[in-house]
Chains A and B, each alone.
Chain A
Amino acid sequence: MLASSAINIGIPAAVLLVVIAGAIFAQRRSRSAKNGPAVAPASVDETLASSKVSPTEPSHAGPGPDNANRVLDGGADSETFAPVRVSDEEPAGEDTLVAGADEEPEVPSVRGKAGRTRSLFASAFQSIRGRGALDATAWEELEETLLRADIGIGLTTRLLDPMRAAAKAGTIRTPDDAINALRDAMTAQLATTDRSLHLDAEQKPNVWLFVGVNGVGKTTTIGKIGTAQTALGTTVLMAAGDTFRAAAAEQLLVWAQRCGASYVRGAEGGDPASVIFDGIQSASAKGIDLVLGDTAGRLQNKSNLMEELKKVRRVAAKAEGTVNEVLLVIDATTGQNGLSQAREFAAATDVTGVVLTKLDGSAKGGIVFAIETELGIPVKLVGLGEGAHDLVAFDPAEYVSALFE
């Protein structure tokens, strides 16, 4: 039986589009006749040109050992890719990345790093406290402060409305009450208990895939995780699944060399799924514990690229390893679009966690509240700089207090 809505929507929409297209042509033609060709849109040939993958799959689309993919072996037996430590900082305390254990002085903290710019909340709260009374301006300032942190108008309203009600009922009286209640409410938003990265010795090789839009810091995050994991004694292989961006594979290679990880790459413009597959197979053959799979940045509204990513995820599952993390990397400067990113990437790849990068800047990364509460994807790691050790486990209480202090 045919879904009747199909025709309902299909025909009017299609007819409409045809009319529009025709009308536009007619209009363009008449205008260019009047004004000369100058009005021809410069971008006509460019808008669609953004597709990286042609509808037909690349020639070596199928998964399987692909000889085009070069396997470089790191570790002690390789001269070229011997571990090189670029930072004089000792890797001590890196276990915080996974275990969240004891705090070494060198380990950057959200409080310390993000603290450089915490003046936003701090000064706003100071001004609110200074008012003495919870008047309309104080509420407005509270709202504005949350909005400035990219928490979003929806969640901000949901946080403040119950507080306003409580103020009416008399349970919140002073600005201090309000700020404390807000802190509790925000911490409660981040209530996920399991933020660990899953690494199972029984299921070698473990596979962690990294996905996200362009420029959020996927490759850098892999470099940092590789550094942390090799320092813990885990053997790591990095698979350069970003075959699109120029020199992305080279960038990852530098990181692999720095931390002594093995490395697999494919041909530029090649099939990312086969690179990841080869990486996992290679790791399996060598008994490597962990494969870190890089992927090309892609905007979540590019359906062809999201299909490509689905394929990467599918093919990775077919290799002789266990995909137990798919980490979505989100830039802290991202605004409300972050939610759309999380939604689409989660739909395509079953994202298991979020890495919030660049939190050492002035941006607060408040969109992760919405991502965690609306989509239930936990934030697992926080990036606090470009150094190899500037990646720490996400601690909601610490994050919220860093916003408040």
Chain B
Amino acid sequence: MFDSLGDRLQGIVKRLKGKGRLTEADVDEVMGEIRTALLEADVNIGVVRDVVARIREQAIGATVSDALDPSQQIVKIVNAELVAMLGGETLKITYASQPPTVVLMAGLQGSGKTTSAAKLARWFKSQGRQPLLVGADLQRPAAVEQLRTLGNQISVPVFSEPGDPVATARRGLDEAKRLGKDVVIVDTAGRLAIDEEMMRQVADISSTVKPNYTFLVVDAMTGQDAVSVADAFHQRLSIDGVILSKLDGDARGGAALSVKTVIGRPIAFAATGEKIDAFEQFHPDRMAGRILGMGDMLTLIEQAEKVFEQDKAEEAAQRMLEGQFTLEDFLEQLQQLKKMGPLSGIMGMLPGMPKEMKDAQIGDDQVKVTEAIIRSMTLEERRDPGIINGSRRTRIAKGSGTEVADINRLVKQFTEMQKMMKRMGGLAKPQGKGGKGKPGKINKRQAMQQLGDMMGGQGGFPGFPGPGGLGAPGAPGGMPPFFK
């Protein structure tokens, strides 16, 4: 959809190469791209202005002093800035000394309050608490039924009665005390921030139940308006934290950054799926990469963790780095990979993936062809493609319904990949330029860990080879080195 910030900067940086130092106009151009990337991610324009100013300051200082690839460096600066803005203090839930701890949910219509209320109840339950859900959304038809159904699914009782939402909330609180529940979550009707009457009503509910925590539920797909909405709710209710809903979509989620900046309250939780347990505490580092369109490596990893058999994958990767990876291993891993869904979807999540690669439609039937070729090989051939001669080639092509040229291409590419992986495995220190010359004796496991640190480490993307890190495949000479 949108180009990532990395893609955007790549073009500029190419032109700037060899320029020695950046002029003010160059920096302006780079800042323009950052601004566009942030705006496309729905970061509020006011917030964008501030962020860009801060990044500009850092970028000017940095470009002079360092010889590293400036586009990577800028992405790193932007990323660090966003993480700092999104992060800061995380919300630590403390429980009321006099139970129950009262939580109030508020937000616009359709932002996901009812679902989030139930997910939050489940979360409290997993923390060893005994929550009660109170349905004070008497506005939307069947909202209470929805809450009851969800409550049933997670075995959390739901209290509600028709009539007045303020009275319902109060009696819900009484009910919790009577039942000895230690957490009460009050779901309220969705309302527009500019609807005076409805805003007064939720303020009344708030002053009646005196919540320990008031959460604003914000849809990750929200645009520029997120800020005015959050501001209005914050003025009325004093928000303690934000629940970011529908984060499993493909929205960049700039609203999160905007809201956090404007009301100065942390994003406490994020809903990452429709299932009731798809709800977790918020990770600012992931969000930064996402806003920049740098791929969602961590989500990818989590998906991989679910489908790959851990030991086998680890072993395969290690063999790969040692250059001992065979077509047979590859076939096996391909089966696992297929479980993760369409290949194009997976590729989209990889950061720094060249645009032409992302845009290419990779049909899974194409993967099937690759599979067919390997399956038409004997075990020996899979282990050592070097033995594949003319007559073997013809046989394999016939067996897999392909052409001899296809077999050649596959074998050639596989061999090149193998070499490349071996080279990667030989890199002792990824940040250095060495590696090509002297593989030396290094701990393969350690190399892999370094690689892992770089890709999925706690810090998100800093240090990840930026745009161009992963080269265009199939080019003569194979892929460019993984690390610059």
Contact = CB atoms under 8 A, between A and B. Distances in A.
Nearest to A364: B225
Contacts of B409: 4, 7-8
A398 B356 CA distance: 42
A215 B111 contact: yes
Contact of B223 (A5, A150, A214): A150
Interface in A231-263: 244-248, 250-251, 253-255
A5 B360 contact: yes
B223 A11 contact: no
Interface in A49-91: 49-50, 52
Interface in B328-366: 330, 333-334, 337, 341-343, 345-347, 350, 357, 360, 362-363, 366
B306 A250 contact: no
B277 interface: yes
A392 to B, nearest CB: 17
Contacts of A255: 141
A217 B246 CA distance: 15
B278 A50 contact: yes
A202 interface: no
B320 A19 contact: yes
Given A334-B222, A335-B223, A17 B304 contact: yes
Interface string B418-434: 00010010000000000
Q: Which bracket fits the contact residues of A? A: 35 or more
Given A21-B301, A214-B110, A303-B345, A7 B406 contact: yes
Given A26-B314, A333-B219, A333-B222, A50 B248 contact: yes
A331 B410 CA distance: 48
Interface centre among A12, A23, A43, A333 (most CB of B within 10 A): A23
Nearest to A216: B110
Interface residues of B, number: 119
A5 B452 CA distance: 28
Given A46-B280, A362-B192, A21 B313 contact: yes
Given A13-B343, A15-B320, 7 more contacts: A9-B343, A19-B421, A21-B301, A49-B273, A251-B146, A335-B226, A362-B229
Interface of A: 1-30, 41-50, 52, 116-117, 144, 147-150, 152-154, 213-217, 220, 223, 244-248, 250-251, 253-255, 299-303, 331-341, 343, 358, 360-364, 366-367, 386
| 6 closest cross-chain pairs (CB), A and B | A22-B317, A335-B223, A27-B452, A50-B273, A215-B110, A6-B366
19 contacts: A2-B369, A4-B474, A8-B409, A11-B370, A12-B417, A14-B343, A14-B367, A15-B325, A21-B305, A22-B317, A25-B317, A27-B457, A43-B278, A47-B273, A246-B147, A255-B141, A333-B219, A340-B1, A360-B192
Interface of B: 1-2, 35-36, 39-42, 45, 108-112, 139-143, 145-150, 153, 192-194, 219, 221-226, 228-229, 232, 245-246, 248-252, 254-255, 272-275, 277-281, 298-306, 308, 310, 313-318, 320-321, 325, 330, 333-334, 337, 341-343, 345-347, 350, 357, 360, 362-363, 366-367, 369-370, 402-403, 406, 409-410, 413-414, 417, 421, 424, 445, 448-449, 451-453, 455-457, 470, 473-474, 479
